[in-house]
Chains A and B, each alone.
Chain A
């Protein structure tokens, strides 16, 4: 079935709001249905009962990584357009939740995003101005997430049931691991690098940097304890100014 580009574009753009009505009962189901509607209306044009049943199907609980959810939108719309039976659609829909969630969490929240954030912080610690630092983060990150979303939607619409197979590829399995390792090195570099600007005019900038590096390394072995220590020190810092002035 030929679907005009405008409908596909509308559906794709609606994917950016897929978490707009996120809730703890149906998660992204409202957003998924919202994004699917332009294509469902095309698939079931002249069949209001079919449209109502399809809409009802997709209001059931659904959750996936928001940048990969467009794959679900494209693939489910494809299945609906091809007249797949509701049981098949339901099974595929449930399988997508695990696949798209796990791949996205690992590759994007756990690798791509922290890597780009730390690039921005590294730029700041090396002396760049604030807007260059922001650009050092948002530039690559924006290019990446837009490309992923577009690829996911296109893959879903053109491949239907076969779409998620791409998530087992080298790119989705290996690259996130490299990025995570890169992020770990950047964590150490940034902890040392930012100590200098914060130490400011104090003559102990290099000592502060070394100490920061040591604290970062130790905290990385015990993330929970490191997080608590960070919170405690954050409270102590302003209190010290009041108590010791």
Chain B
């Protein structure tokens, strides 16, 4: 739990505050979360789905986006203890929900940051630069704490949800569960592609890529 909370803090601070090396992306954070419990592959699987869902949410202007660092850690760890596709689906859903909850806490942190560095009068801060430096570092430390607390609070419920899901392997429900997961990742990927393209016809490149992979899979 402590290791997951530490990972949560490190991945949370990476997203915005420091150093933005993208270990907060689900591909990395979920793999790390799964690896803590010995299942990096399960972590990456859920991280891949979350990554495609998050692809269209670009941090530009006032757009909101999910807090994928702590969410990925929780999702990856939950996937590591899950059984079968239903557990994987629950871990993914938990990760997605936690990502948006985390986004709300980022808003709170920004309000706190405004008090820290924009609250005191400019003249006051400018007269004592060491005070500004201290407050800036405190803001970074608070972001780490935020991520750790988020993981600490939500890891157990998310993991519990993943473990209580029925094992539907070999059952008729497996088709629905797997179909839903694949549909979600495909729709998320397509939505991400649409958001990335600047001209309408460019989305046909998505079809080109899909056909190319189908051909490759058929030949190999």
Contact = CB atoms under 8 A, between A and B. Distances in A.
B88, B165, B191 interface centre (most CB from chain A within 10 Å): B191
A202 B153 CA distance: 36
Contact of B53 (A25, A141, A230): A230
Contacts of A95: none
Given A37-B129, A134-B28, A138-B28, A185 B139 contact: no
Contact of A190 (B59, B85, B189): B189
A156 interface: no
A189 B56 contact: no
A229 B202 CA distance: 21
A212 B181 CA distance: 10
A131 B31 CA distance: 8
B44 A134 contact: yes
Interface in B44-70: 44-45, 48-49, 51-53, 55-56, 58-60
Interface size class of B (residues with CB under 8 A): 35 or more
A46 interface: no
B51 A21 contact: no
A219 B186 contact: yes
Majority secondary structure of chain B interface residues (helix, strand, loop or mixed): helix
Contact of B193 (A31, A188, A200): A188
A210 to B, nearest CB: 6
B45 to A, nearest CB: 7
Given A21-B116, A105-B58, A236 B165 contact: no
Nearest to A136: B27
A21 B139 contact: yes
B43 interface: yes
Contact of A114 (B55, B143, B212): B55
Interface string B181-218: 11111111111111111101011011111111110011
Given A195-B182, A202-B178, A223-B194, A189 B212 contact: yes
A21 B173 contact: no
Contacts of A137: 22, 25, 27-28
A238 B86 contact: yes
Contact of A227 (B114, B137, B191): B191
Contact of B113 (A23, A111, A210): A23
Majority secondary structure of chain A interface residues (helix, strand, loop or mixed): helix
Interface size class of A (residues with CB under 8 A): 35 or more
Interface string A85-101: 00000000000000000
A73 to B, nearest CB: 14
Interface of A: 16-17, 19-26, 29-31, 33-34, 37, 41, 51-53, 55-56, 59-60, 66-67, 105, 109-111, 113-114, 117, 120-121, 124-125, 129-131, 133-134, 137-138, 141-142, 145, 177, 180-181, 183-202, 204, 206, 208-227, 229-231, 233-238, 240-245
20 contacts: A16-B19, A17-B140, A31-B136, A34-B136, A55-B125, A110-B60, A113-B22, A134-B31, A184-B196, A196-B217, A197-B45, A212-B182, A216-B189, A226-B56, A230-B184, A234-B89, A235-B93, A241-B173, A242-B165, A245-B171
Interface of B: 16-23, 25, 27-28, 31, 34-35, 40-41, 43-45, 48-49, 51-53, 55-56, 58-60, 85-86, 88-90, 92-93, 96, 110-111, 113-114, 116-118, 122-123, 125-127, 129, 132-133, 135-137, 139-140, 143, 165-166, 168-169, 171-198, 200, 202-203, 205-214, 217-218
Given A199-B178, A211-B183, 4 more contacts: A25-B114, A51-B129, A109-B58, A191-B206
